[in-house]
């Protein structure tokens, strides 16, 4: 099922070809300026095979993922449309999936989403009408059986490459590969993981994944990213849900003089990237460089991942 | 597990009374009260009306602040506590442990649970189960073969390569 092309997605094409895939994500603006989106995408587009339009990650309000997709598809770029279950119910989500595909979106990332309590408006009403697996299954139903959840027909094709998230770095550890199996059964074709800073933990996860044969059914892109400073790492570790950073990495940043911490964070990222690349079953990386998007190019280059055949819409 | 046995027993006891335990009947009202109190005390039941307790290690998944019915989110803390309520253990960590301890139904944790039918809130799960109302959907969510194929993955993935 992994090798059969299900969409017209360029990301899927890269993965099927066996090339090491790179995705990244765009820091969504707090503006109503399309140029902010284009500028941010331009920095990334030359170095990756897909850019995630994130759906208010951390439950902080920014320009919506749907609108970012609208702007990017307008200039001919194929983003990864991220849908979280936090803010919209099943009626809104199914309608948005149709609309996104109509605009030219070919990649969908289905996630549960951080709770509203993690964000800057904790008084908001959390929706969670779907969970991520129900969302995936519904998207697959819409694509493969061409019906809504109600059974009502969809009157056109819906070429979508379906993705999901995975976090191998939080408990219950032994459950995580099994949850991956469920996500694959629900329709996941590619996976982007949470930030990987703990290589031994990730190796153990992949061992179990291979044992179950899951690496042959799904493309796994490992989440990596540069830590900007010791302070930023500490914030991510304590305030952002689901991010685990081992003590050794924290110590390494702490011992580095402040003005060189960003450089050191980038070096750590490149080292991790090169290590996960060697693990059997890893199909690519997802580089998350929040507010330091300009580093993605350097990371890709210094990790020896150039030259690349990237989407060149601009 | 004792709770699995109690589940089977309750089912066996109620099944003969299916034709009395109809939706919107007086008998359902009585069942609602019994479930509210009984399951409320034991499981902190949220009365979703489509109980999947035996598929979730006899721990109520509706107590997850995100109402997740298919597994834990990626926000579980390193001490196994909840992302949303740090003082509380993650419901899905408890479900996973409960499923391991459930020899009969534990593997059902692998099933893909369909979206919650919100119209069944505060109705009787047992009545809905007996009449197939809780599983009713207009589309095929997951076939029995798919469920059977997934279940064995629950217990056999940790051996060495």
DSSP A217-275: TSEEEEEE-----HHHHHHHHHHSTT----HHHHHHHHHS-GGGHHHHHHHHHHHHHHH
> Chain A partners of B68 at a C-beta cutoff of 8 Å?
112, 128, 131
Cα distance between residue A246 and residue A251, in whole Å: 9
Any idea how long chain B is?
A: 161
Q: With contact defined as beta carbons under 8 Å apart, do A11 and A20 qualify?
A: no
B41 sits in which H/E element: helix B26-43
Cα distance between residue B24 and residue B150, in whole Å: 36
Q: How many CA atoms lie within 13 A of B109 on its CB side?
A: 31
Residue of B nearest to A90 (CA): B115
Using a pLDDT cut of 90, give the percent of chain A over it: 92
Residue of A nearest to B82 (CA): A241
> Chain B partners of A86 at a C-beta cutoff of 8 Å?
66
Q: What is the DSSP letter of A153?
A: B
Q: Which of A173, A166, A238 is nearest to B93 (CA)?
A: A173
Cα distance between residue A195 and residue A226, in whole Å: 10
Confidence grade of residue A2 (pLDDT, cut at 50, 70, 90): low
Extract the tokens encoding B129: 């189960």
Please check the confidence at residue A184 and state whether its pLDDT lies above 50.
yes
In chain A, what are the domain boundaries? 10-302
Extract the tokens encoding B69: 């019915």
Please check the confidence at residue A219 and state whether its pLDDT lies above 70.
yes
Which range (A278-282, A306-310, B41-45) has the least confidence? A306-310
Cα distance between residue B70 and residue A132, in whole Å: 8
Residue of B nearest to A246 (CA): B78
Max CA pair span of chain B: 58
Residue A284: CB partners within 8 Å, gap ≥ 6?
A14, A15, A20, A21, A22, A23, A49, A219, A220, A221, A222
Extract the tokens encoding A129: 């009408």
Mean pLDDT value across chain A: 95
Q: Which one of A175, A215, A279 makes the best mutation probe of the B interface by having the most chain B beta carbons within 10 Å?
A: A175
**pLDDT digits over A84-137, tens only?**
999 999 999 999 999 999 999 999 999 999 999 999 999 999 999 999 999 999
What pLDDT, on a 0 to 100 scale, did the predictor assign at position A62? 97
Cα distance between residue A112 and residue A1, in whole Å: 24
Q: Which of A182, A95, A174 is nearest to A131 (CA)?
A: A182
User: Does A212 sit within 8 Å of B153, measured CB to CB?
Assistant: yes
Confidence grade of residue A314 (pLDDT, cut at 50, 70, 90): low
A286 sits in which H/E element: strand A282-287
Residue A215: CB partners within 8 Å, gap ≥ 6?
A206, A209, A280, A281
User: Does A210 sit within 8 Å of B74, measured CB to CB?
Assistant: no
> Chain A partners of B83 at a C-beta cutoff of 8 Å?
114-115, 118, 241-242
Residue of A nearest to B137 (CA): A150
What pLDDT, on a 0 to 100 scale, did the predictor assign at position B123? 97
Distance from CA of B116 to the nearest CA of A (A): 7
Max CA pair span of chain A: 61
Q: Which of B3, B4, B38 is nearest to B125 (CA)?
A: B38
Please check the confidence at residue A240 and state whether its pLDDT lies above 90.
no
Cα distance between residue B53 and residue B57, in whole Å: 7
Buried b or exposed e, range A97-107, using 16+ CB within 10 angstroms: beebbebbbbb
> Chain B partners of A241 at a C-beta cutoff of 8 Å?
74-75, 83
Cα distance between residue B92 and residue B70, in whole Å: 9
User: Does A114 sit within 8 Å of B115, measured CB to CB?
Assistant: no
Please check the confidence at residue A237 and state whether its pLDDT lies above 80.
yes
**pLDDT digits over A19-30, tens only?**
999 999 999 999
CATH number of A10-302: 3.20.20.220
Q: With contact defined as beta carbons under 8 Å apart, do A253 and A269 qualify?
A: no
Q: pLDDT digit of tens for each residue in chain B (161 aa)?
A: 899 999 999 999 999 999 999 999 999 999 999 999 999 999 999 999 999 999 999 999 999 999 999 999 999 999 999 999 999 999 999 999 999 999 999 999 999 999 999 999 999 999 999 999 998 999 999 999 999 999 999 987 444 43
Confidence grade of residue A4 (pLDDT, cut at 50, 70, 90): low
Burial class (CB in 10 A: 0-12, 13-18, 19+), A19: middle
User: Does B78 sit within 8 Å of A133, measured CB to CB?
Assistant: no
Q: With contact defined as beta carbons under 8 Å apart, do B117 and B129 qualify?
A: no
Distance from CA of A313 to the nearest CA of B (A): 34
> Chain B partners of A172 at a C-beta cutoff of 8 Å?
72, 76, 80, 92-93, 96-97
Q: Which of A181, A78, A85, A175 is nearest to A139 (CA)?
A: A85
Residue of A nearest to B79 (CA): A171
**pLDDT digits over A6-61, tens only?**
788 999 999 999 999 999 999 999 999 999 999 999 999 999 999 999 999 899 99
Cα distance between residue B28 and residue B151, in whole Å: 33
User: Does B114 sit within 8 Å of A90, measured CB to CB?
Assistant: no
ipTM over 0.90: yes
């Amino acid at each position: 099922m992994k090798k059969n092309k299900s969409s017209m997605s360029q990301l899927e094409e890269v993965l099927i070809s066996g090339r090491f895939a790179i995705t990244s994500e765009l820091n969504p603006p707090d503006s109503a300026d399309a140029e902010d989106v284009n500028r941010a995408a331009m920095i990334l587009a030359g170095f990756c095979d897909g850019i995630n339009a994130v759906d208010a990650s951390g439950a902080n309000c920014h320009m919506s993922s749907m609108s970012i997709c609208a702007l990017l598809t307008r200039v001919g770029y194929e983003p990864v449309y991220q849908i979280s279950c936090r803010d919209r119910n099943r009626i809104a989500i199914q309608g948005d999936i149709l609309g996104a595909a109509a605009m030219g979106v070919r990649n969908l990332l289905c996630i549960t989403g951080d709770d509203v309590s993690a964000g800057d408006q904790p008084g908001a009403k959390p929706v969670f009408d779907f969970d991520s697996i129900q969302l995936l299954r519904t998207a697959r139903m819409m694509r493969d059986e061409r019906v809504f959840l109600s059974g009502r027909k969809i009157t056109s094709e819906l070429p979508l490459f379906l993705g999901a998230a995975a976090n191998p770095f939080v408990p219950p550890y032994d459950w995580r590969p099994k949850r991956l199996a469920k996500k694959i059964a629900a329709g996941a074709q590619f996976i982007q993981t949470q930030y990987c800073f703990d290589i031994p933990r990730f190796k153990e996860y992949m061992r179990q994944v291979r044992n179950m044969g899951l690496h042959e059914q799904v493309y796994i892109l490992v989440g990596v990213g540069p830590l900007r400073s010791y302070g930023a790492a500490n914030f991510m570790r304590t305030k952002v849900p689901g991010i685990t950073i081992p003590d050794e990495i924290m110590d390494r940043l702490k011992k580095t003089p402040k003005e060189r911490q960003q450089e050191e964070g980038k070096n750590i990222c490149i080292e991790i990237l090169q290590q996960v690349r060697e693990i059997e079953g890893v199909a690519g990386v997802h580089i998350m460089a929040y507010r330091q998007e300009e580093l993605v190019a350097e990371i890709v280059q210094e990790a020896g991942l150039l030259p690349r055949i990237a989407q060149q819409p601009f | 597990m004792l709770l699995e046995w109690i589940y089977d027993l309750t089912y066996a006891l109620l099944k003969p009374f299916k034709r009395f335990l109809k939706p919107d009947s007086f008998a359902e009202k009585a069942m609602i009260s019994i479930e509210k109190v009984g399951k409320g005390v034991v499981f902190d039941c949220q009365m979703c009306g489509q109980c999947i307790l035996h598929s979730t290690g006899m721990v109520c998944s509706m107590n997850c602040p995100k109402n997740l019915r298919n597994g834990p989110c990626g926000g579980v803390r390193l001490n196994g506590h909840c992302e949303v309520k740090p003082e509380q253990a993650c419901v899905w960590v408890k479900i996973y442990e409960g499923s391991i301890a459930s020899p009969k139904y534990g593997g059902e944790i692998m099933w893909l649970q369909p979206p919650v039918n919100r119209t069944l809130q505060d109705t009787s799960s047992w009545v809905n189960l007996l009449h197939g109302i809780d599983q009713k959907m207009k589309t095929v969510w997951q076939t029995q073969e798919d469920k059977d194929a997934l279940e064995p993955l629950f217990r056999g993935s940790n051996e060495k390569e």
